[in-house]
Structure formats: C-alpha cells, structure tokens
Amino acid sequence: MSASVTLENVHKRYGEVEVLRGIDLHIPAGQTVALIGPSGSGKSTLLRLLMTLERPDAGRILIDGESMWTQEQGGQEVPARPSHVRKVRGKIGMVFQHFNLFPHMTALRNVAEAPRHVLGLSKEEAEQRAREYLDMVGLGDKLDQYPGNLSGGQKQRVGIARALAMRPEVMLFDEVTSALDPELVGGVLEIMRELSARRTMTMIIVTHQMRFAERSSDRTLFFESGRILEDGPSPEVFAHPAQARTRQFLDAVIEA
C-alpha cells in the first residue's frame, strides 16, 4: 500500500537562511522520485519535514490528502494534536545516511524493536517479520550479529529492513550510500531498485548517484537554492534538461 505526498507553498528557515522557498509538489501514490542538486539546496530538509523532525514555517504537508500539522475541528482548520501528527507520520519510513542502529542490539532485534513497541506486535510476530525483511535484504544469515561486526553496506541493509518492517506507505532515503565505501554501494542500490520495481510504496530518494536516479526513478526533481528548478520524467531530465543550470550540474557531477 502506498500514499500520495503533497506540499503546498512550504517554507523553512534556519535563522537568516531560507532553506525551502515555497515548495509546491505532488507525488502520486506508488511513484519513485529522485531529488538531486547541490549540497544545501533543501533536499534533505524536505525529508526532515516529512519525517516531522522539523516543522515547516509556512505551508501545508499532506499524506494521502490528510494534513500533517493541522486538522479540522468544528468546520475550521486548527493546529493538530500530537496524536494526529503521529498517526499521519506513521505512514512514513526513512533510511538515514549514517545507519543509526542500536549498537547493543543484534540485527534481528534492531529490526524487530519498532514493530513490537510501536505497532504492538508480540515478540514472536515482530521477530518473524524482522527475519522476513532481513532475508529480503540478503542478511538472513546475520540475524544474531551486532552492528560492530557488520560492514557499512550490511549496516545500511539492516537500516532498510528496519524501515520496511514498519510497512510504511511512503519511504524516504537520505543519501543512504554516501557513507559507504565505493565497493559496497552497488548492493544497497540494487535493493532500492528492487523496492522501486515492486510499486508497493511511494519512494522519495535524495541521492548523488546520478545513474541510479536516471535508471531507477520515475521522476527527478532538481533543487537549487531552496526551490525546485526542474521536474520531469527521469530519462528526459537527464537526456534533455529544460534548464541550463540543471545541465551544468549534471555535466559537473557525471563527469566527476
């Protein structure tokens, strides 16, 4: 099951710096979208807003048409109660750049912990679900290993399994290969390709892996200075970008 994502005139500022400048965006349910652009252009901030790690200064965020930060009461829109925010946020999962695994827990327990304590599954149900997703990412033989005994690529795959175990309708990936050694990147990207091909979730991917974005996403957005400068089908954006700035960026990063 997947959900649509809509942003309406979303702004976010840190002090004097306006990081997002009136973002309007609609992502249909089941679509895979790549966010590309220079560092500091607002891509990761957008993900942090969707995860409720940050709150927008203005604008609306809707998941499947349901507002994240407001709700209707007596025919009027009022600030949402924390329970409402948690309910909407519960449709979203995220895989982080630096794994964020619990070092004192095995791979199995890292994945089973949230389904058990957040979703209310029994210990047996949560561990069975964890085994299924660890097997899906190729770590069925690492259930009892601690993060300290896993490679960077294996840790990131545990992170993916952990997010999947919550069965999100929207999955966010924030530069998930940037902390990996080059030889470990391919395995993680292949798992993401397989997830995209399944069409079971809406996927939003911040990445510097341009060939991956071109070949594995339906749509690519180019961010520049807090705005979406270009938005189109991935093959078209990479082959024939409409904006000169997009071409300049692609020429620089692909040749590098």
pLDDT of residue 92: 96
**Is position 151 within any domain?**
yes
Asked if residue 190 belongs to a domain, the reply is no
Q: Structurally, how many domains does the chain consist of?
A: 1
pLDDT band at 88 (very low <50, low <70, confident <90, very high): very high
Which of 244, 246, 242, 179 minimizes the C-alpha distance to 210? 246
d(CA 163, CA 229): 30
What sign has the CA pseudo-torsion 47, 48, 51, 56?
Answer: negative
Q: What is the pTM of this model?
A: 0.93
Q: Alpha-carbon distance 147 to 96, whole Å?
A: 15
Asked if residue 141 belongs to a domain, the reply is: yes
- At 177 the pLDDT is 84
Domain span at 112? 103-167
Q: Cα separation of 161 and 186, whole Å?
A: 17
Distance between CA atoms of residues 101 and 181, nearest Å: 18
Radius of gyration of the chain (CA): 19
Domain assignment present for 234: no
Can you spell out the DSSP letters for 97-162?
Answer: TT----TTS-HHHHHHHHHHHTS---HHHHHHHHHHHHHHTT-TT-TT--GGGS-HHHHHHHHHHH
Q: Using pLDDT thresholds of 50, 70 and 90, give the confidence band for residue 255.
A: low
Share of the chain above pLDDT 90, in %: 80
Residue pLDDT, tens place only, 172-197? 999 888 878 887 788 888 899 898 88
Give domain status of residue 42, yes or no. Answer: no
Rounded Cα distance between 69 and 139, Å, is 37
Judged on CB neighbours under 10 Å (0-12, 13-18, 19+), 157 is: buried
- Both tokens of 141, joined, read 């033989």
Query: Mean pLDDT over residues 210-234, rounded?
Result: 95
